[in-house]
A = this chain, B = another copy of it.
């Protein structure tokens, strides 16, 4: 990286090999992006095969024993380097990934990819048909795959641990359970208090908003937030996501509903949060394993920080609301800022996680997390999952889905990925977002007043400095400790919720 001339020759060779793997994976990501944005329908069959081919080649090249040997040969060199040095970090993270990858047999990856594609297809059909029975056998198989995966990492305390560790390194079933139990204890009375009060009026968000004007407005917003269009772009898709092909090319996708302003605008800001993280990673890490987000929780903390703590704040709209009114005069001229602010922060016990507000959102996640563990522990059978789901929605949120389409079938995660490790990151991200934001405010008390003037640099710079630039150099726990001076805790989130929603409701 910086010190190329002094680099150990084996480190240089390692970097070259890792860059090759990175290039192949980036190509696979572009194939996926294209599939989700512009690909004509006729391309689907070949595209699936092409992505699988590239992923297989990347996996084969990465798990080549010669890479293992290089990592072995570099042990002494790594020990001589400072833990925080780019060199030691690269070797450390590469070894972590390598050790993990070689434990998973290539044929497992191929079998699981095949199954997951079939399962996704079956889900896409079963969901609108409200047909859980049709998908159940696929889910059984997913569960078997998930257990098989976990068992490639023996020595765990809980069978979900290796799956959680994969996306949120350093966490496990027990540590997540402890946090979630504390969180639930605090959240449930808040939700109960708010639910006993009248619902906010969000009708101003459900007028007619032409797609092109929504897109134009949200592009203005995210440019102001600091999204660099020289190193990114936004396109339309069915299920919005952020993706990266290099540090110079970090793209977001969005969808727009012309009768719901929430959908397009906030999902755009959400994906922008992910993108600001990736665009902020130090250029010197390009094409190395350090050039990525460090955990699913940290990644989500950035999408949620920008979407909620910034994008649903009063300061933010003090700046942007006049612009929104100018963009949609017929829709908003008669709507006071306060009405709009209450609308975008409406709290409501609802069925769909992705539409949930900041207060109830984590209850949705915790239901899924507990059910995942129960399935993996074999305490819950797949056939009993819909009933268990509905029971938990009744007990936790006081509402029961009328059908599985809006219940257990709503999220793609179990039907396109593993059972286990798929959901905790969302709530960890919410907790982290509040903890980071609190630390940023502590460092720069005038962040809110800057935001009110449409200036996001102070916040953005703090995040770049403390989180983004490091990429995967530090673990989530290390980053949180360094950036906030404390380990992860629910306190900043709860105090944020109490403060913000205490102004909107009697708590």
Contact = CB atoms under 8 A, between A and B. Distances in A.
A230 interface: yes
A24 to B, nearest CB: 7
A44 B245 contact: no
13 contacts: A23-B53, A23-B54, A24-B53, A40-B231, A40-B232, A41-B230, A42-B231, A43-B231, A43-B248, A45-B246, A46-B248, A49-B287, A50-B245
Interface of A: 19-20, 23-24, 26-28, 30-31, 34, 38-47, 49-50, 53-54, 57, 228-233, 235, 245-249, 251, 286-287
Nearest to A57: B57
Given A27-B31, A34-B34, A248 B53 contact: no
A437 to B, nearest CB: 28
A311 to B, nearest CB: 23
Nearest to A279: B42
Contacts of A286: 46
Given A27-B27, A43-B248, 20 more contacts: A19-B49, A20-B53, A20-B57, A23-B49, A24-B57, A26-B46, A27-B28, A38-B38, A40-B229, A40-B230, A40-B233, A42-B230, A42-B231, A42-B246, A43-B231, A43-B246, A44-B248, A45-B246, A47-B249, A50-B246
Q: In the complex this chain forms, how many copies of it are found?
A: 2
Given A42-B228, A43-B231, A50 B31 contact: no
A283 B45 CA distance: 12
Most buried by B among A53, A229, A231: A53
Contacts of A235: 38
Contacts of A24: 53-54, 57
Given A23-B53, A24-B53, A53-B23, A34 B43 contact: no
Contacts of A28: 27
Nearest to A251: B40
A41 B230 CA distance: 6
Contact of A46 (B31, B232, B245): B245
A251 B40 CA distance: 9
A269 to B, nearest CB: 19
A15 to B, nearest CB: 13
A63 to B, nearest CB: 16
B287 A40 contact: no
A464 to B, nearest CB: 16
B34 A50 contact: no
A43 B249 contact: yes
A251 B24 CA distance: 23
A229 B43 CA distance: 11
Contact of A30 (B19, B30, B247): B30
A235 B50 CA distance: 22
Contacts of A228: 42
Contacts of A57: 20, 24, 57
A37 to B, nearest CB: 9
Contacts of A232: 40, 42
A47 B246 contact: yes
